[in-house]
Chains A and B, each alone.
Chain A
Amino acid sequence: MTAQRPSPPAEPGSAAPYEQRVPPPDARGGTARNGGAPPHFPAPSQADIDEAIGAAHAQAAHAAPLDHPPRDFPPYRSSALRHPLASPLPLRDPEAVELTGPVFGVTDVTALDSDLTRRHHAEPLGERITVTGRVLDRRGHPVRGQLVEVWQANASGRYAHQLDQHPAPLDPHFTGSGRCLTDDEGRYAFTTIKPGAYPWRNHTNAWRPAHIHFSLFGDAFAQRLVTQMYFPGDPLFPYDPILGSVTDRAARERLVADYDHELSVPEWSLGYRWDIVLDDPAATWCEEGRA
């Protein structure tokens, strides 16, 4: 590969166009982003995807449970060309740079950043909610003073992103991104609106369950986590290959928040609780003073 500009990214054949949104049925050609690439034919049906997810879960039931999704998960079609074939090389150096990590402080967030409903001149549409919980390491120690970032679709299931072509309304009073630092007990809290479910192009009639994207830092770069929080009782769970990529049932349930009536504010908002547990590299486990 030379340094010259590569040709515009063509949508790779079999896995395209992944998460591009479904255009309205009368739309000609593709979305703006996929450059008019024709829809993938034949798109798998929901039944095809269900079968593949079921097979993966059945197979996983006979092996040691995995905490994280396998990077190669065929029902999530865009994983096809984006997962390495070789296993990662394990490193056990207790002084690795990855066992330290970036630090953030009061300059990096403003007080308003944790309230996604107050970023514009008026209130967004939707069901006002608060989401709170603790960021912990696997020993249950709080992760203190670390950055938590969130992003989400609006109440109609539309992202404030120009590549999102879902024909649902944008909300001029909602962008859908926020950040905060955890407190001394590892606690974070956001005020937002409940995001809507949305369609995507993984397969015919593919819909994502409502979710909030989360990005988390631990004390070590090796604890980094990007994930998605789901809402309890969503009927779309069994159809979704992204949630379903977590093949262990108990691990999947850890992605679902609890509705907590104690957190609901009378005549104001509904409350959800979701605790997040970060991986601990073995090399940090016995090292005192890290927590």
Chain B
Amino acid sequence: MTEPTRAAPAPAAMPLGPTPSQTVGPFYGYALPFAGGGDLVPAGHPEALTLHGYVFDGAGEPVPDALLEFWQADPAGSATGAPGSLRRDPVTGEAAGRDGVRFTGFARIPTDADGHWMIRTLAPGPHRPAAVPYLALLVFARGLLHHLYTRVHLPEHAEALAADPAFAALPPERLGTLLAVREAERRYRFDLRLQGEKETVFLDFPLEPHQPVAAPVPGAR
């Protein structure tokens, strides 16, 4: 029975209208973060690098309730990932951590009370010949109605990034927001600024325009 205050669902028109985004809100903390979420490789891995930083709002204040997700190719450039990021202990149901062997390519880390986050990973390789390697980064936060995409490039790829035609429209200081800073051997810093003068460059993957395509799929609403 149709609920009276809603219009009856129209027959499926293609493409289907996407479900709108809504903010992650302040209370995701017992649901989305998982133990070892930022540890793509075990501590002590000889190739491990540490990537860390802060998230700041438009007033320059740290954001203590942002959630960051990373997705990246492995050092050989393969972006196929592997299951097991959220591996559960079948006895207790608790998070068991990654198996330490397969590189899942996916990390999820909330900012702490200081607005700080940290992951331990491997340097991504080029996902196609001559591609500039990067970590894809997705930002969620209370106050953010729709997540934001950006990319983290390691500073050794700065020249290649500057030569990438996809980013040619950006002045150097804007482009610099997509570059991590080398702080120490195998340790890099990447701060995110959601708004303002040194605002991070955020990215968009344009969507298919609304246009009719194939006949409706049975069951699609």
Seen from chain A, the residues whose Cβ lies within 8 Å of a Cβ on chain B are 1, 3, 5-6, 8-10, 12-13, 15, 18-20, 67-71, 73, 76, 78-93, 95-110, 112-113, 119, 134, 136-141, 147, 149-151, 153, 159-161, 163-164, 175-179, 185, 213, 215, 221-222, 224-228, 232-233, 242-243, 245-246, 250-256, 258-259, 261, 275-283, 285
CB contacts (< 8 Å) of B104 on chain A: these are: 102-103
Q: Which of B56-74 contact A (CB under 8 A)?
A: 56-59, 61-64, 69, 71-73
Q: Does B76 contact A (CB under 8 A)?
A: no
Seen from chain B, the residues whose Cβ lies within 8 Å of a Cβ on chain A are 1-7, 9, 12, 14-32, 54, 56-59, 61-64, 69, 71-73, 79-88, 90, 93, 104-106, 113-115, 124, 127-128, 131, 134, 136, 138, 140-149, 166-167, 169-170, 183, 189, 191, 194-196, 199-209, 213-214, 216-217, 219-221
A103 and B22: CB pair below 8 A? no
Chain B, residue nearest A187 (CB) = B219
The majority secondary structure among interface residues of chain A is loop
Q: How far is the CA of A151 from the CA of B34 in the complex (A)?
A: 14
CB contacts (< 8 Å) of B113 on chain A: these are: 8-9
A89 and B167: CB pair below 8 A? yes
A255 and B205: CB pair below 8 A? no
Give the residue among A84, A103, A153, A255 with the most B Cβ atoms within 10 A: A84
Q: How far is the CA of A119 from the CA of B94 in the complex (A)?
A: 11
The majority secondary structure among interface residues of chain B is loop
Q: How far is the CA of A79 from the CA of B78 in the complex (A)?
A: 37
Specify which of B16, B57, B167 is in contact with A136 (CB 8 Å cutoff). B16
Specify which of A71, A163, A252 is in contact with B26 (CB 8 Å cutoff). A163
Q: How far is the CA of A108 from the CA of B206 in the complex (A)?
A: 31
Q: How far is the CA of A159 from the CA of B182 in the complex (A)?
A: 40
B140 and A277: CB pair below 8 A? no
B86 and A104: CB pair below 8 A? yes
B27 and A139: CB pair below 8 A? no
CB contacts (< 8 Å) of B209 on chain A: these are: 282
